[in-house]
Amino acid sequence: MASLPQPDGALKLIAAAVMSVTLAAQQAPFATKIEMVRVDVLATDRGRPVRDLTAADFEVSDNGVPQQVELVSFEQIPLNVILALDMSDSVAGERLDHLRAAGRDALALLQNGDQSALVTFSHAVTLSAPLSENAAAARAALDRAEGLGETSMFDGVFAAMMVAESDVGRALMIVFSDGVDTSSYLTSDTVLNAAKRSDVVVYPVSVGRKQDFLNDLASFTGGRVFELAKTSDLASTFRTIVDEFRHRYLVSYTPRGVSRDGWHRLEVKVKKRGVSVKARPGYLAGS
């Protein structure tokens, strides 16, 4: 278990991570990533996943320039499921029981080859279970987690994103919080800018209040926000998220005719009539 128990230590480590990731994003990784852009796409017809699409069925434009879709995968690539869970003092008693049950339900849906990780955040950020195929480790860590302290949601989301980016697999992040950020070192803009460079798809789940940060996070990554009235709905929501993500297509292309830097606006369509598409709206490349 990797833990940041002391606030001062957390600030130093998170600051170092921000510097490292910022330099990497500006200098090398996205220069490499832009050679092949991956876009997770949810294709539905009247709310049901469409399962029989091929590369020829997709149309992708990058900053208005049509691109050649090179690869489409569906239910073939193992998932990396990262749970980023609020463990501040407001998550206690029945709420904590519901959250633990939801996390266990999500982990129970993992298949051979899938990986999972657990990041918890309160006034400190803790990597409670590193990314691995050992879902039992994540379940055990979830059972040990306790609600205590303030809410460092921005820091927790950023840490979970770094866990997701540590592996080339297909990453789903489920973020749960029942409150607003009260103690993060990072700003929301810093985390959202990191999300624009990331391949991770984020599905935020909140209880009790609407949060602009979580809505923006889902929008930039192509995920979907769930705003619940009560924590007893968490388990069914987590199951819905994992099932929906597993039915998404992974569309890949090599950018042609566009700049290597700046914000790239993406538009993904399916040629078949009646098919609706959900995908991230773009990506941030270069410096």
Task: Tell me how far apart the alpha carbons of residues 287 and 88 are, in angstroms, rounded to a whole number.
Answer: 35
What sign results for the dihedral spanned by CA atoms 44, 45, 49, 52? negative
**pLDDT attached to residue 287:** 57
pLDDT over 90 (residue 106): yes
pLDDT over 70 (residue 30): no
**SS3 string of the chain?**
CEECCCHHHHHHHHHHHHHHHHHHHHHCHHHHHCCCEEEEEEEEECCEECCCCCHHHEEEEECCEEECEEEEEECCCCEEEEEEEECCCCCCCHHHHHHHHHHHHHHHCCCCCCEEEEEEECCCEEEEEEEECCHHHHHHHHHHCCCCCCCCHHHHHHHHHHHHHCCCCEEEEEEEECCCCCCCCCCHHHHHHHHHHCCCEEEEEEECCCCHHHHHHHHHHCCCCEEECCHHHHHHHHHHHHHHHHCCEEEEECCCCCCCCEEEEEEEEECCCCCEEECCCEEEECC
Residues 201 and 42 sit within 8 Å (Cβ to Cβ)? no
Average confidence (pLDDT) over 110-134: 95
pTM recorded for the entire structure: 0.87
Considering only residues 179 and 134, tell me which one the structure prediction assigns the higher pLDDT.
134
pLDDT in tens, 170-199: 999 999 998 889 999 999 999 999 999 999
Confidence category of residue 6, pLDDT binned at 50, 70, 90: very low
Average confidence (pLDDT) over 94-110: 96
pLDDT in tens, 209-251: 788 999 999 999 999 999 999 999 999 999 999 999 999 999 9
**pLDDT attached to residue 43:** 95
Considering only residues 98 and 286, tell me which one the structure prediction assigns the higher pLDDT.
98
Confidence category of residue 65, pLDDT binned at 50, 70, 90: very high
pLDDT over 50 (residue 2): no
**pLDDT attached to residue 105:** 97
10 Å Cβ neighbour count for 55?
16
Phi, psi for residue 276 in degrees, rounded to 5: -95, 150
**pLDDT attached to residue 32:** 36
Average confidence (pLDDT) over 77-86: 95
Per-chain mean pLDDT for the chain: 87
**pLDDT attached to residue 118:** 97
